[in-house]
Amino acid sequence: MEIPSNTTEKSTSNVKDLRDREPTYHTTDAEYTLPNDTIEYARLRDQAIGLDEMMHNKSVHAPLANPQQIVDVGCGTGIITRQLGEKYTNARVYGIDLSPVPAGQTPPNVEFILGDIRKLIGSHPRLGIESTDFVFSRLLVLGMTDWQGYVKDMMSIVRPGGWVEMQDLVIELYLHGSHCSGDWEWRKAIYASADKRGWDLHCGKNIKRYMEEAGLEDIVVKEYRMPFGTWLAGEKPETRRIGEHTAREYGMLYYHAIPKMLQGMGYTKERLEEFQASCLKDLTGRDGLEGRFYVTIGRKSDQK
């Protein structure tokens, strides 16, 4: 499935303006630290296009045949939800998010549901036990505090023989193949906060284990290189757009996320500003800098 990439929508203006930005956030008790404003929605759309191209226009990796119901968890702008609805016209497709999904052209078989998926299971008429053929989620790394419970819950709503697909990353970076972010002070701080809050900042790698523990079968993991900048595009042209995106967006993304991620950790305003300045410097696109993006799929056994 291919997301049209000729969009002219951009999520940034200049660095000074974005430093002065005052993001808005989800008005829930969920531990999700990224904004829900128009700038973030534009960034999410551009990111989705870049990831789609990086994966050779293969947004979904699970071998779906004729699904009758699909659930997209944490659907954000709804771009993948709508895409799923266009491809699987015989399926009812439900996008779940903590904030209302921005308006857009939506296939008739797509519906958006506001709320926390784990609270909706069993209480929403469309989200009962073994009601769904396919559950999809992407980039919940900064919003999920109980991965084991989440994966088990997603398995519970999938019918026997159905698939679960989770796409996520690890918050660590490499420079010319060697781990380079271990000594970054701002990263150490958010890892300490993650330990306190229950985030798994290595979830991209760990989802395979969570699926195994939940009892899913036929688990497959696909790892993608996600560069910061266009330096890898000569070898892998499919990485150009995501490389442009990460180099342009991720520094400012974490710049605004750091104060929210470090709430309650006892840092002064001055120390938080130091972390923000270091973050912008460390996440500037440069030759050899890259992260890893993981796609993990698992099937629920046909046997009850």
Burial of 32 from C-beta contacts in 10 A (0-12 / 13-18 / 19+): buried
pLDDT tens column, 187-218: 999 999 999 999 999 999 999 999 999 999 99
Residue-wise pLDDT for 223-246, tens only, equals 999 999 999 999 999 999 999 999
Helices (H), the chain: 15-19, 38-54, 79-87, 117-120, 147-157, 185-197, 203-214, 240-261, 269-282
End-to-end CA distance of the chain: give it in Å, rounded.
Answer: 32
Q: Closest Cα to residue 294, out of 219, 232, 235, 186?
A: 219
Helical (H) or strand (E) element with 295: strand 289-299
Helix or strand run (H / E) with residue 221: strand 217-227
Tell whether the model's pLDDT for residue 304 goes beyond 50: yes
Q: In Å, what is the CA distance from 269 to each residue of 241, 257, 278?
A: 35, 14, 14
Residue-wise pLDDT for 105-122, tens only, equals: 999 999 999 999 999 998
**This prediction's pTM:** 0.89
- How many CB atoms are located within 10 Å of the residue 56 CB? 9
For 115-169, what is each residue's pLDDT tens digit? 999 999 989 999 999 999 999 999 999 889 999 999 999 999 999 999 999 999 9
Q: How far apart are CA 89 and CA 46, in angstroms?
A: 25
Alpha-carbon Rg of the chain, whole angstroms?
A: 19
Length of the chain: 304
Candidates 47, 30, 37; CA nearest to 120 is 30
Please write down the HEC assignment for all residues of 142-161.
CCCCCHHHHHHHHHHHEEEE
Task: Record the tokens describing residue 170, joined without a space.
Answer: 């690890």
153, 287 in Cβ contact below 8 A?
Answer: no
